[in-house]
Structure 1
Amino acid sequence: MSPPPRLVLRALERFHAARPWDHNAHFHPWILRQLPGRVGSALDAGCGTGDLTRLLARRAQRVHGIDADPEVTARARELTPATAPVTYTAADALTGLGERSYDVITCVAAVHHLPFEEALRTFRDHLAPGGTLVIVGVARERTPVDRLLGIASVPLNIVMALLKNRGRHVPRPVSMTARTRPADLTFTEIARQARAVLPGVRLRRRLLWRYTLVWRRR
């Protein structure tokens, strides 16, 4: 199955530059549905500017956001009300967690920036008994199923852009809050490594170039 022509890709890039929307935030309601109504503590690893971190603060008594980019975490602090039970740290998610444990750990579109198995072990070891780990990640396309889901995501992506922007044209594109890089692992590789580290983990391919992972510690 050949990729779309270059002219088509450029046209899509122009379309979405004029009608930007946050693919990761689209999954935030789904993430919240995986969690208990109230928890004591939550960690948002790779928190960016804190959109999900602030949502977790509605459920948790304490929320900690961690991101490797100091400028991004500084912006997260600016956007977070002083009264919210939220703290931010500019640090690597694998080395900056200390000895703390959490009832909830989330990681959205960030785990592919880390050594995958090591990241899963770190999250597992910092999850309190009965806690929940939720990851929304990106994988490298390889199989026909991956490519089919990618193709199906293109028209859905256009529809979502129109709905979220209500058909209007945004004069200037919204800039990214952090540098990103492509995923290295395929979904098959991700699933194999995750099952080795997290027995009973649930993984699912998703539209919009994402996969989801949910694990509850007993």
Structure 2
Amino acid sequence: MTAPLPRIMRALEQFHATHPWDHNAHYHRWILRQLPRRFNSALDVGSGSGDLARLLASRAGAVHGIDVDPTIVARARELTAPAAPVTFSVGDALKEVPPGPYDVITCVATIHHMPFSDALTCFRQHLAPGGTLVVVGLSRPQSRSDYLIDAVAVPSNVVMAWIKNKGRKAPRTASMTAPTRPATTTFADIVRDARQALPGTRLRRRLFWRYTLVWHQQ
């Protein structure tokens, strides 16, 4: 069952070279729907070029993004208006998070680069009472349902790429496509570890090689 996957992923990479779209940004509006209309502070872990951090700033008094890549952090600062209530830093989110607590913590396509349980514990410690944690993550397919969802994602992915690129005379020069670094943890293990670290957390498998996790600090 796993043999066709490398060929499929290579085909997707070739397709997205000319029809790119951002799988992670696809979930940004969904993330906002999980959050209060207004909140004081937010932390975006693995902030990349800052798209989500700037979106959070439309509701927050202050947003901080942290990423390990100094080049992408520099780009995020360039793209952010000086008056925006958004700051960025280079660092390890498990060791160098600026002092909180934060009303909102987001983490998109980043947690699979970290020790999962340690990351959730760290986020919980930096979350304010009543705060919300939202994770969009990657998992390694294992079960029949995992492979079924991934199989459905392939044609859906192509359709979305066509829709988002419709009418463009030239392709975008940069985009997030299917995951470039595969996740090593199965969704079943993620569910088990998340429920141990964050009782009451809500998890769901999603299209486009993602799952979501939402948790509210009591």
Normalised by the length of structure 1, the TM-score is 0.93
8 A contact 1:50–1:65 mirrored in 2:
yes
Deviations 1:165-197 (A, max 9, x none): 016464575266xx9521110000001000000
Change (3 A) 1:4 1:170: farther
Q: Distance in 1 between matches of 2:169 and 2:146?
A: 31
Q: Distance in 1 between matches of 2:2 and 2:214?
A: 33
Q: Distance in 2 between matches of 1:71 and 1:134?
A: 25
Secondary structure at the aligned position of 2:131 is classed as strand
Q: Distance in 1 between matches of 2:125 and 2:147?
A: 34
Q: Distance in 1 between matches of 2:48 and 2:102?
A: 19
Secondary structure at the aligned position of 2:121 is classed as helix
Q: Please show how residues 80-119 of structure 1 align to structure 2 within 5 Å.
A: 80-119=80-119
Secondary structure at the aligned position of 2:153 is classed as helix
Q: CA deviation at 1:11?
A: 3.8
Secondary structure at the aligned position of 1:134 is classed as strand
Deviates more, 1:206-215 or 1:166-175: 166-175
Change (3 A) 1:167 1:152: farther
Match of 2:137 in 1: 137
Change (3 A) 1:201 1:170: same
8 A contact 1:150–1:207 mirrored in 2:
yes
Match of 1:45 in 2: 45
Residue 211 of structure 1 aligns with an amino acid whose one-letter code is Y
8 A contact 1:103–1:130 mirrored in 2:
yes
1:208 aligns with 2:215: no
Q: Distance in 2 between matches of 1:145 and 1:56?
A: 33
Kindly, what percent of the aligned residue pairs are identical? Answer: 61
> Which 5+ residue runs of structure 2 have no aligned equivalent?
none
4+ runs of 1 displaced by more than 3 Å?
5-12, 167-173
Secondary structure at the aligned position of 1:112 is classed as helix
Change (3 A) 1:2 1:110: closer
Residue 67 of structure 2 aligns with an amino acid whose one-letter code is D
Q: Distance in 1 between matches of 2:18 and 2:92?
A: 33
Aligned-pair Cα RMSD in Å: 2.0
Match of 2:151 in 1: 151
Deviations 1:2-56 (A, max 9, x none): 5438766544332211000000000000000000000000000000000000000
Q: Distance in 2 between matches of 1:200 and 1:109?
A: 22
Residue 49 of structure 2 aligns with an amino acid whose one-letter code is T
Q: CA deviation at 1:57?
A: 0.3
> Which 5+ residue runs of structure 1 have no aligned equivalent?
none
Residue 78 of structure 2 aligns with an amino acid whose one-letter code is E
Secondary structure at the aligned position of 1:75 is classed as helix
Match of 1:199 in 2: 199
Normalised by the length of structure 2, the TM-score is 0.93
Q: Distance in 2 between matches of 1:162 and 1:191?
A: 33
